[in-house]
Amino acid sequence: MREELVQFLSEHVTENRNALFDKVLKDRTKYITVVLEDIYQSHNASAVLRSCDCFGIQDIHVIENRNSLSVSRDVALGSTKWLSMSRYNEEENNTRSALRNLKNEGYRIVATSPHTNDVELYDFDVSKGKAAIVFGTELTGISDVVKEEADEFLRIPMYGFTESFNISVSAALVLQHLAHEIRRKEVEWQLTEPEVLEVKLQWLKRTVKSAELIEREFYRKKI
């Protein structure tokens, strides 16, 4: 039924747009996902979302303990339309519930922070399994809860006096490298067929004019 709905909605976009969707979907991945913890500057969060779209990262997990994510349209440039975002903001400790949910989905939690047992970005082994890369708040970085829940720690090598990158720069550097690495290694990084259908349906619903009415028409014809 879902495949038929996708086909039905696809008839309401141009051939070029449909072909572009299919082309981009071939490079989409859930093998790497991004977790943003309490990012409070909208331009930083928006720049990370834009990088996720550019490097084919489909799923974004937003933890809102003290700060709510706000998207700057001028920075994000519409990238949120193409991403699948999950927000965690209903519990006392949203960080722990978010990370444990990701662990249950088979992700290893990788915190971006210098640590005693950290690994440099270029030595990170993408072949060990799916990874959720956690980026912390601008001032203090990842929380103590992330440090407790993390399976691994990732560090970007630096050679100057300054001790850290801006979060949007960190995310871009990490994601560019990992997006390249998963395509070099023998890992199943591409979306499964059900995932392709789900994401394409999401994109069609967000771009087709009067998509809800068209969907209702589809189901009416099926009755």
Extract the annotated binding site for S-adenosyl-L-methionine: 112, 156
Q: How confident is the model at residue 223 (pLDDT cuts 50, 70, 90)?
A: low
Return the ∠ at Cα 199 (arms to 100 and 174), rounded to 5°.
Answer: 55
Extract the annotated binding site: 112, 156
Superfamily classification of domain 29-207: SPOUT methyltransferase, trefoil knot domain (3.40.1280.10)
Q: Name the percent of the chain lying above pLDDT 70.
A: 97
pLDDT tens digit sequence for 103-139: 999 999 999 987 767 899 999 999 999 999 999 887 7
Helix (H, G, I), strand (E, B) or coil at 60: strand
Q: In what order do the strands lie in the sheet with 131-135?
A: 84-88, 59-63, 32-37, 131-135, 108-112, 152-155, 119-120
160 CA to centre of own chain: 30
What 3 state SS string does 95-158 have? Answer: HHHHHHHHHHCCCEEEEECCCCCCEEHHHCCHHHCCEEEEECECCCECCHHHHHHCCEEEECCC
Domain assignments of the chain as residue spans, ordered by start: 29-207
Q: How confident is the model at residue 140 (pLDDT cuts 50, 70, 90)?
A: confident
Give CA–CA dist 18/123, Å, rounded: 38
Residue 77: predicted pLDDT: 66
Query: Are 186 and 180 a contacting pair, CB within 8 Å?
Result: no
Threshold 0.85, pTM exceeds: yes
Q: How confident is the model at residue 168 (pLDDT cuts 50, 70, 90)?
A: very high
Judge whether residue 76 has pLDDT over 70: no
